[in-house]
Structure 1
Amino acid sequence: MFLTAQEINNDSGIEVQAERDSLVYVGDSLPLAKTIKMQDSILQDSIKPQGNQLITDVVKYKAKDYMRLSAKENKMYLYNEAEITYQDMIIQAGHIIIDNNKNEVYAYGIPDSTGAYSQRPVFTQAQRTVEPDSIRFNFDTERALVYNSRTQEAQFNVKGEVTKRENDSVYFMKNVKFTTSKDVEDPEYYFYARRIKFVPDKKIVSGLVNMYIADVPTPLGLPFGYFPLTEEETSGFIIPSFGDSRYGYNLQNGGYYFAISDYADLLVLGDYYTNGSYALRMESNYAKRYKFRGNLSLRYEKLLTSERGFPDYSERSVYNIRWSHSQDSKANPSSRFSASVNLGSSTYYQESVNQTNTANFLNNTLSSSVSYSKTFEGDPQVNLSIAARHSQNTRTQSINMSLPTIQASMSRIYPFAPKVGAKKGIIENINLQYNFRAENRINTTDSLFFKPGMFKTADVGAQHTIPVSTNFKLFKYLSVSTSANYNETWVLKTFEKSFDERTNEVVTDTINEFDSYRTYGFSSSIGTTVYGMKSFGKDKKIQAIRHVMRPSISYNLNPGFDQYFDSYERPDPANPDDIALVDYSRFDGTLYGAPGRLFSSSIGLNISNTLEAKVRSKDSTATEPKKIKLLNNFSMSTSYSLSRDSLRLSPIALRGSIPIIDNKLDINLAGNLDIYALDNNNRRIDKLNINNGGSLFRFTNANVSFGYSFSSKDFEKDGEETEDNIENESYRNGGRRDDLFGKGTDLDGTFYEDEDKFGDDEKKEDNEWYNYKIPWDIRLSYTMTYNNTARQNEITSHSLMFSGDVELSPKWVVGASSGFDIKEKGFTYTQLRFQRDLDSWRMSFNWVPFSQRRSWYFFIGIKSSVLSDIKYDKRREPDRNL
């Protein structure tokens, strides 16, 4: 029996009238498969397929409206939300046709209810997605023709008019636009290429390419282009920027980036100036998860002034070394290694030609520390640390180094403590420790740094300290503590002095041999805590005030150690005919100095006060009142000497802080009061000031300071406080953690710590652009110092510093850092900042309008790191005549 469906032979069967399916849409505006077939360049392939090509896997398909199989055409029609799956390939579209004769598939979009082209094809393979207008794909050759494709590779958005897919790794495209803009349909800029070869995850190689900005062609063009697409860090050249300065025309920040491994990289940059000056910089970042992370920076500059042979010609070199290393706390709980190094020429930040972090020239101190610590568990526990430290004054160019410092300590031992239960009484609380410190200290200058001469004056010494202490309760409310200290000091050289009558000078001889001295002392203290409460009632706004007072009395005893002092004879300067004895210690000038010669015994008095209040909470749902501090740890302290014969009472020191805004603003106060008067030479005399015609106390000096930072988020209920980043660039260079001295810019024009200032536009709702709140932040620092120790009665320093940023719009941020010297009536170092987010571009302007450091820096460039070399920057450098 022979059976056919729908199509029958008129000679041997019953004629059936064919009807068109009402669900089939035949008015598709897209070209049919036959039209696409005429444009297909694959049919002109010179290589003929050999044998019958078969589909090697199951083709799965589905559609929302219908799936129709045409036996005559041997085609499958899928309509509305159609999808087919073949191996790792998925095609989704509004209309899909599967041609079984050719083993090909055609995918198109369909018109929606408004007639707009919708349900464009989506081609997905190996986690790569292409969104074209239409697709033609061959199952056998796995080649495809794609029209108006849109895809994203690395940081590029690529749109091609016609794409020919050769295989999984090679695409040929015609009339292509590629950009880093998020909007591929209407980008702010793009590169237009007639033909390109596209290798996913690797590269784009193009022929003639032009840059368009706002659909306007620019003269920027290349005969060919190469654009890497890898998501991983790769090595490559960094194109320098061109400019001019007082050193001549220059090429700056050009070099090479080395992607050494997944754990470390290396950036090598250089500058060259036409007068012969040059600069080299090497920066490396390294990290290993759960182990450590850090960065290393080496910078060297050779600076020439004027021309060789001219009288004003000069040649100098400046350098800077930075190293920061931190160990993860989980790496090793018993040992830790850390480093924070910032050393080099004292004038580096003042003279550097290409130093973008301008705020650091205001810093007068460079410091470094490299340390390793190890804990040996046991009973008792032993802690060992080895450290190398460095401190450098950039004004005096003096350098102090410790290479190295070794410290060891043993935890407290309670020899009389019970094996079980709490320790009670004076005997059971007796404890002792052992501390050891050895140091090799070097004092040198900038000119001798890293030279053999810096080691000639090194001081080596060691100290052993054994403190013994105990504590107990007296009369239930008094806390008593006593301690005795034994110290032994070792040195490797001492100094012997004598007087040379021929030269009339004191001669100092260095004795290079081991020597030591021992000292001891005793101290005790007794104190208590007194509470006072005044209640006003729960219906009052201020319900209660509490006063906490902590008085204490201490006693200190330090014997004199005359045995370590000698004397030499010399003529009396007042009467040359008489002989005077001059006392000295051979340990003067050693690492830890000489022991005290004079016996001292003193009583110390201290009282600290804290004032708190309970106020009714503004929150009606709160069940408890709110506690606020009115006065925080306001203390008064002094001491009375039992061993001196005059001026026994030390000045009374006042210290404390007044909280103004909880956890935000505290005003710190400090001052000294003296009861003794001054003579006509403004020296203290053993006479009370009140008996000398003055007041009871003489106000000698005072200091008032506060720091405050607040922002618009503080006035929002869901605002979150943000902390300053400790590892910011200014702090790594030795500056401040905040930006009161101004912000520095990176080489790509970004202000440090401001990379996320604008946020993500995609997260903003449409109505947020119209109902926009202006974010802002401001930081203040105030200080005032008063001095009257010798009847000066003057304010020695009085200044206010401020820094802030205002986001005028979602894409505009302006900021300023400045200060005002109230005493000298002038502005301090001032910096004005402007930033503009241009979507795919970034623009910034940094301006120092006045002072000897007046300068400006303008930058505009593409944000994406792939195209970071496409930029324009211009700067006016400050004069560096120091």
Structure 2
Amino acid sequence: MTVSNTEPKLQNNSISALQTNSQYLTIFLTFLLFSSSILHAQDIPSNKSAKLPNSNIQDTLPVNLKPVVEQINEQAQDTVKTDTIKPPNETLTDIVDYFGEDYVFLNRKENKIYMFNNAYIKYEDMRIDAGLIILDYNKNEVYAKGIDSAGVYSQRPVFVQGPNKVEPDSIRYNFNSEKALVYNSRTEQSGFRVIAEVTKKVNDSVVYLRNVKFTTSKNIEDPEYYFYTRKAKFVPKKKIVTGLTNMYIADVPTPVGLPFAYFPLSEDRTSGFILPSFGENNSRGFFLQNGGYYFAINDYLDFTITGDYYTNGSYALRGESSYVVKYKYRGNLSARYENLVQEERGFPNFQQSSIYNIRWTHTQDPKSNPSSRFSASVNLGSSKYFTQSINQTNNASALVNTLSSSISYAKTFEGDPQVNVTLAATHSQNTNTNQISMSLPNLNASVSRIYPFAPKNGTKKGIIQNINFQYDLTAENRIQTVDSLFFKPEMFNSAQIGAQHSIPITTNFKIFKYLSASAGTNFRETWVMKSTRQRYDQNAFDGRGGIVKDTVSGFESYRTYNFSTSLGTTLYGLFNFGNNKKIQAVRHVIRPSLSYNINPAFDRYYDEFIIPETAEEAAGQIHRYSRFENTLYGPPSKVYSSSIGMSLSNNFEAKVRNRDTTSIEPKKVILLNNLNFSTAYNLAGDSLQWSPVQFSGNIPIIPKLDLNFSGTLDPYALDNNNNKIDVFNIENGGSLFRLTNANISINYSFSSRDFQSKTRDTDKIENETFRNGGRPDDLFGDAANIYDGRIYDNEDDDTDKTNVDWYNYKIPWDMRFAYTITYGNARRQNEISSQSFMMSTNLELAPRWTVGVSSGYDFKNKGVTLTQFRFQRDLESWQMSFNWTPIGSINTAWYFFIGIKSSMLSDIKYDKRRESDKRL
């Protein structure tokens, strides 16, 4: 007999754990559904043989509850022994929760439950969502599939167990063995998308697959490439092991195949080998490049070692480590060494050299320890590394003229007064002259300003209450050396050690409410550990005689002081033109300043001797020198100076009628920003008392585009030999001033993102060119990362570029340019000493095509500067790039790369390049 469902809209049912005997389940459910008996409470008879009384006869006997209860207790005692057979364990150990939107049908004859439309079933950590789900209690299995309506298969099953998720066409799952049989499954593991015709889930850790496709494509229905294998073993989050595997591109098999394959699936970083690329170089022979090993040490630290080898003997080693502790600090350390061999031994062009480079970047989260800060930015090594490296194609880095480094630790001691201490080591290296200057280490300490006469409450007023002083200490060990002596004992021979103590005392006050005045003095004491003594030796210099300088080790010190005062104010001028005009008003802000400085002469720190009459040159003359010459901070001044300084700052702003008719306020526009003039007059000088007039300014043209200019105006004239004379230029028949030098520069950067609401910030720490000391942008060319070839940093970009409306597509672009011109006329040369224009642009011509170019023109030398063309193609799961530098002296080269985006398959790539000729 078949029983129909009495409640077709039954939803959100729960079935508790059931025993294995299904007949008991049927009897129990039938009893619950069809039992209509009503149970009443009855008195228990006094003995087992007593008959029930007639309900029509009234009971006149009194009821004594206590004896009845005692009798019940006596009868409740059972002399039968306890059953020693244990009941069978329940198959289902947890609640089974199921649901069907249209109906949940219970078939008691088949002992099955049918759930239809947006159905689901949950058991322990397993959940199945599908269009149709059948729960079979006879076999303790669940079967799920989608809904086929009008030829459209929808609501495919979604099987989730723990962190694993599978989307098949249909699935069978057994509660007893927890095994599953899946048909046409689709799943994702650690960036891999797996499509299998048949999948057999043995347990939580082993899955067998048949006729499988592996890909990293986001289009799992129609991947542009995949690896096809007949049989595979899949261990979630660990590995995939396959048999014979072939690579397919656009469903076309390729010759690329392996008898077996191993794909790691660890979600955490794992150690492993980095496969090298191979090729041939004209001057070094065959090579293997960028091969090595990656060490995943822990969650906070990793290490990568790679190298190159050429058959002519050249080789390179590179080590790089990244570390990060969230909310505390992060950094990157790399060291690179290359042994360069040019041509073959015994040939005239044979050359051998070695170069190296060390970089370290460390940043600390300011919130981790506000009172203690440590930072590092190190970039040092061979001056010719970026121009001679055999595995470096960064044009912008090759143009860097200065390598600089800084490691510092700063500590703040809170209190009144506050004490700040900074311990640092710095390094500066000129790659053109090979000169290196190091400060190893230097110490800076300061005590915040102290106002000894300030009131305890209220503001400070007057000269006395505003008197303040502080203490500053600077100590340094400075080393001057060259590239060839770097890291050698000889570099420390010229080390100079010194310290300066400074105590400035200042005060400020108002005069007539509108003039701001300040006055101060500065006392400074300088310590050095080496000094110089000079003498005339007739036998020196091969008997010709001359002044000999001897370096004397020992503590020496000198003390200096000076006095300064200044007076300044701010003036405002407003010119109104009316509210009906386009320019309604112009405001001129003037800030004049007048200062007076006195620097005494410290003759007592100078010595002198008379050159003998027997000397060939300067016989009988008095030679004066200071023993503090060629020391760390130089000698004190021996010339008395008393000068008046003058400066004038101007700002011009305008109120312009706003184009937005809904706005009631006019728009503020800056016409001229910071037009500054400064000069000085030396009261103690006997000639050329006026200093040249320095001027600078900034003119905003459009937002983010400013014209910067600066120059020097000299009031004195030149003689016939182009030497400055103590005659004003206007008195010599010229103009009031001579323009001796000037500079104009323009920098502008804009992109399509400027017209959108979102902008993207660039992390300079991750920028290869910036870490090498260059610009973080691509004005001088973009760096091709030849170590992994990746173009797109975010391989999980979810931007859908498959469907594009070509007529309404917004083309992303960016552009930046820089123009500079320098004029020189100090000695009537009247020439443009330098003039150049640099530009860089990137344009996404199509949704997956990006082109870029960086170039410039040198107007002085009449030639095109370093030029680079960039072509990049996003091939969905693949990427392709081509960088070509046709112009650029020693940097002419090209580089081609094509490979898979996913970092898991980064070794599947092809790259080819032509290096520049380093011998030019």
Residues 788-810 of structure 1 deviation map (CA, whole Å, 9 limit, x = unaligned)? 00010000000011111001111
Alpha-carbon shift at residue 737 of structure 1 (Å): 2.2
Cα distance in 2 for residues equivalent to 1:352 and 1:627: 52
Residues 744-799 of structure 1 deviation map (CA, whole Å, 9 limit, x = unaligned)? 022366577x635995333x695645410111110011110000000100000000
Structure 1 partner of 2:232: 196
Paired residues of 1:748 and 1:861 also in contact (CA < 8 A): no
Cα separation, partners in 2 of 1:312 and 1:866, compared to 1, 3 Å: same
| Alignment-mate amino acid for residue 465 of structure 2 | E
Cα separation, partners in 2 of 1:572 and 1:847, compared to 1, 3 Å: farther
Cα distance in 2 for residues equivalent to 1:117 and 1:605: 86
Cα distance in 1 for residues equivalent to 2:2 and 2:414: 91
Cα distance in 2 for residues equivalent to 1:757 and 1:215: 23
Structure 1 partner of 2:338: 301
Residues 621-663 of structure 1 deviation map (CA, whole Å, 9 limit, x = unaligned)? 222111111010101111111111111111111111111113x
Cα distance in 2 for residues equivalent to 1:851 and 1:345: 21
Alpha-carbon shift at residue 58 of structure 1 (Å): 3.2
- Matching residue within 596, 599, 602 for 2:643: 602
Alpha-carbon shift at residue 571 of structure 1 (Å): 4.9
Cα separation, partners in 2 of 1:577 and 1:174, compared to 1, 3 Å: closer
Alpha-carbon shift at residue 366 of structure 1 (Å): 0.2
- Matching residue within 578, 589, 602 for 1:537: 578
2:198 is the alignment partner of 1:162: yes
Paired residues of 2:98 and 2:120 also in contact (CA < 8 A): yes
After superposition, the CA RMSD in angstroms is 2.1
Structure 1 partner of 2:691: 650
SS state of the match for residue 299, structure 2? coil
- Matching residue within 271, 284, 289 for 1:235: 271
Structure 2 partner of 1:35: none
Paired residues of 2:2 and 2:109 also in contact (CA < 8 A): no
Pairs within 5 Å for 1:370-409: 370-409=407-446
- Matching residue within 732, 735, 741 for 2:774: 735
Structure 1 partner of 2:738: 698
Alpha-carbon shift at residue 71 of structure 1 (Å): 3.3
2:161 is the alignment partner of 1:125: yes
| Alignment-mate amino acid for residue 339 of structure 1 | A
Pairs within 5 Å for 1:630-669: 630-662=671-703, 664-669=704-709
2:491 is the alignment partner of 1:451: no
Structure 2 partner of 1:136: 172
Cα distance in 2 for residues equivalent to 1:719 and 1:82: 42
% identical equivalent positions: 61
Paired residues of 1:392 and 1:399 also in contact (CA < 8 A): yes
Structure 1 partner of 2:716: 676
Paired residues of 1:758 and 1:810 also in contact (CA < 8 A): no
Cα separation, partners in 2 of 1:765 and 1:178, compared to 1, 3 Å: closer
Cα distance in 2 for residues equivalent to 1:703 and 1:758: 47
2:850 is the alignment partner of 1:813: yes
Alpha-carbon shift at residue 460 of structure 1 (Å): 0.5
Paired residues of 2:196 and 2:212 also in contact (CA < 8 A): yes
| Alignment-mate amino acid for residue 350 of structure 2 | Y
Structure 2 partner of 1:28: none
Cα separation, partners in 2 of 1:794 and 1:552, compared to 1, 3 Å: same
| Structure 1 segments unaligned to the other structure (5+ residues) | 8-17, 24-50
2:811 is the alignment partner of 1:774: yes
Aligned length: 834
Paired residues of 1:67 and 1:78 also in contact (CA < 8 A): yes
| Alignment-mate amino acid for residue 864 of structure 1 | S
- Matching residue within 147, 151, 164 for 1:110: 147
Cα distance in 1 for residues equivalent to 2:896 and 2:614: 67
Q: TM-score under structure 2 normalisation? A: 0.88
Alpha-carbon shift at residue 569 of structure 1 (Å): 2.5
2:501 is the alignment partner of 1:464: yes
Paired residues of 2:675 and 2:696 also in contact (CA < 8 A): yes
Residues 392-414 of structure 1 deviation map (CA, whole Å, 9 limit, x = unaligned)? 00111010000100111111111
Cα distance in 2 for residues equivalent to 1:57 and 1:674: 94
- Matching residue within 553, 556, 560 for 1:512: 553
Alpha-carbon shift at residue 226 of structure 1 (Å): 0.7
Deviates more, 1:780-789 or 1:667-676: 667-676
| Structure 2 segments unaligned to the other structure (5+ residues) | 10-87
Residues 514-554 of structure 1 deviation map (CA, whole Å, 9 limit, x = unaligned)? 11111111111111111000111122211110000011111
SS state of the match for residue 692, structure 1? coil
2:321 is the alignment partner of 1:284: yes
Cα distance in 2 for residues equivalent to 1:520 and 1:145: 91
| Alignment-mate amino acid for residue 726 of structure 1 | K
Q: TM-score under structure 1 normalisation? A: 0.92
Cα distance in 1 for residues equivalent to 2:122 and 2:738: 92
| Alignment-mate amino acid for residue 276 of structure 2 | P
Structure 1 partner of 2:897: 859
Q: Whose Rg is larger?
A: 2
Paired residues of 1:749 and 1:843 also in contact (CA < 8 A): no
Pairs within 5 Å for 1:87-486: 87-112=124-149, 114-245=150-281, 246-486=283-523
Cα distance in 2 for residues equivalent to 1:739 and 1:697: 41
Cα distance in 2 for residues equivalent to 1:56 and 1:426: 87
Residues 474-529 of structure 1 deviation map (CA, whole Å, 9 limit, x = unaligned)? 11111111111111111111110111112312211111111111111111111111
| Alignment-mate amino acid for residue 251 of structure 2 | D
Cα separation, partners in 2 of 1:686 and 1:52, compared to 1, 3 Å: closer
Cα separation, partners in 2 of 1:101 and 1:756, compared to 1, 3 Å: closer
Pairs within 5 Å for 1:552-567: 552-567=593-608
| Alignment-mate amino acid for residue 405 of structure 2 | S
Paired residues of 1:758 and 1:811 also in contact (CA < 8 A): no
Cα separation, partners in 2 of 1:879 and 1:572, compared to 1, 3 Å: farther
Structure 2 partner of 1:43: none
Alpha-carbon shift at residue 387 of structure 1 (Å): 0.5
Cα separation, partners in 2 of 1:229 and 1:189, compared to 1, 3 Å: same
Pairs within 5 Å for 1:749-760: 755=793, 760=798
Structure 2 partner of 1:871: 909
Cα distance in 2 for residues equivalent to 1:232 and 1:181: 21
Alpha-carbon shift at residue 574 of structure 1 (Å): 10
Cα distance in 1 for residues equivalent to 2:612 and 2:322: 65
Alpha-carbon shift at residue 94 of structure 1 (Å): 2.2
Alpha-carbon shift at residue 694 of structure 1 (Å): 1.7
Paired residues of 1:724 and 1:738 also in contact (CA < 8 A): no
Runs of 4+ in structure 1 off by over 6 angstroms are 572-575
| Alignment-mate amino acid for residue 342 of structure 2 | T
Structure 2 partner of 1:744: 783
Cα distance in 2 for residues equivalent to 1:694 and 1:56: 106
Structure 2 partner of 1:582: 623
Paired residues of 1:547 and 1:610 also in contact (CA < 8 A): yes
Cα distance in 2 for residues equivalent to 1:572 and 1:442: 39
- Matching residue within 857, 879, 884 for 1:847: 884
Cα separation, partners in 2 of 1:776 and 1:758, compared to 1, 3 Å: farther
Paired residues of 1:106 and 1:137 also in contact (CA < 8 A): yes
Structure 2 partner of 1:30: none
Cα distance in 2 for residues equivalent to 1:765 and 1:177: 22
Cα separation, partners in 2 of 1:210 and 1:577, compared to 1, 3 Å: closer
| Alignment-mate amino acid for residue 345 of structure 2 | R
Alpha-carbon shift at residue 462 of structure 1 (Å): 0.6
Cα separation, partners in 2 of 1:575 and 1:749, compared to 1, 3 Å: closer
SS state of the match for residue 579, structure 2? coil
